[in-house]
Structure 1
């Protein structure tokens, strides 16, 4: 078995419930990965600027598949971005007005945006995942930015029903995917984490059999199905465990780090 590339989701996967990880243990693993020539990639629905903040010492040498694949940056160089057509942005915002219990963040290349009338609690929650988050009077009036995706939040118990309703309401405009904890992302069809990883694979000449991926939510399904070695967290959603080749211990049991140590020994 030869692994040349590892991609990890962050929330519920690499990060524990306190939104952190064993930094000393990972530093040793990362050093070993470098010595073996293995690329380490962060693949998350979150904003690039937020993801970088978790790796202050090494962010400049890492690769990020951010915004669920809509923004790919490697060693601070922009590799790829997807763009939602401005008319579609307007159409989708109009559709979302029908969903009374939902809250919306519009995710752009320069910043994320939230309506200033949203509850303060929601805005504060959003700022954890979007380090660049601007409050604006009206999401319909955002110009001068490239929009990647919509990040929606609903009561957890409504998510499955809302996903079905969004599929029906949106048609082929955008694809709704669950990203855990009551969050739903609306992404461009075909632009998901696996697509982002493929951009990097092409850049580095790495095939899917040499790729290991780790995830826990619906937005990880494509990259788990794509990789030669795929791991669902013990805390993962049932459908994620079905797609992944193996289920490992949970994010609070450092499942990713434990498994990486094993993989490095056998590589």
Structure 2
């Protein structure tokens, strides 16, 4: 019996317009709640951005946001995993050394911070994932605890940047180049898989009772914490190899249609038993 469904958002649950079929979701989510199944969005997006995304249709949804560094539900912060300040500052120096033109998004509990010189077009891209964004002259002036760093590179060098940072910081932080243009840095061992395991413990749900969906490199750990792990058809090859199953693409409502079938099968099984 499935008791927990966890899905990545961008490229997985959301279509290429960063939206989803709200009518279908409401139907599927209502049936999930009837069957006592928890639903979690596990994403690099800021928790508050996810709350806005599911506004009016997402009561009771678990949000594992900000690259799984925060757990929220119905506006309440449940858990948070911070990145040591000196490690964050060291990573910022290494990123700047690699290319001072890269966009660094320094995230705290209250906001995402970017440099005031950010290009307006890139700022719009940042706002697609972050509801609360503050521009500052120096990232060093941020005086609240960091939860993660994200780097946006329009020149698609995130793998080279990861290798550059790892040369000095391997084993001190968790770092993943989720896509060619995006790289995330969090506390060591803080990633989607580990945060889902913490949620499973909180809910008393086992791996055998969990279903997960993903598409990117940062979803590989997500495939390892669910017996029923699905990569969408548009997923990267490494995630497909880590998944138990392949479903339709994000443009074809792969997550919701798979859930719709699962709910029907589970209801049939319950009626027979």
TM-score (norm 2): 0.93
Deviation at 1:262, TM superposition (A): 1.2
Aligned residue in 2 for 1:122: 122
Aligned to 1:138: 138
Q: Is the 8 A contact 2:41 2:65 kept in 1?
A: yes
1:107-164, Cα deviation, whole Å (9 max, x unpaired): 1100000000122221221111111000001001101x22111110123542333332
CA apart distance, 1:60: 4.0
Q: 1:217·1:237 contact (CA, 8 Å) conserved in 2?
A: yes
Secondary structure of 2:224 counterpart:
helix
User: Unmatched 5+ residue regions in structure 1?
Assistant: none
- Number of aligned residues: 265
Alpha-carbon distance in structure 2 between the residues aligned to 1:112 and 1:155: 19
Deviation at 1:181, TM superposition (A): 5.4
Unaligned runs of 5+ in 2: 267-273
Q: Alpha-carbon deviations, 1:216-254, whole Å to 9, x = none?
A: 011111111111110001111110001010111110011
Aligned Cα RMSD in Å?
1.4
- Residue 81 of structure 1 corresponds to which residue in structure 2? 80
Say if 1:80 and 1:199, in contact at 8 Å, map to a contact too: no
Q: Is the 8 A contact 1:47 1:131 kept in 2?
A: yes
| Conserved? CA contact 1:107–1:148, under 8 Å | yes
Report the CA distance shift for 1:163/1:90 in structure 2 as closer, same or farther (over 3 A).
Answer: closer
What is the SS of the residue equivalent to 2:157? helix
- DSSP-derived class of the 2:134 partner: strand
Match of residue 177 from structure 1: 176
Write the distance in 2 (CA, Å) between the matches of 1:258 and 1:21.
Answer: 12
Find the residue that maps to 1:230 and give its secondary structure.
strand
Taking the TM superposition and a 5 Å limit, the aligned residue runs for 1:96-107 are 96-100=95-99, 101-107=101-107
Mapped to 2, the partners of 1:159 and 1:94 lie a distance apart of: 16
1:112 matched to which residue of 2?
Answer: 112
Does structure 1 retain, via aligned residues, the 8 Å contact 2:173–2:187? yes
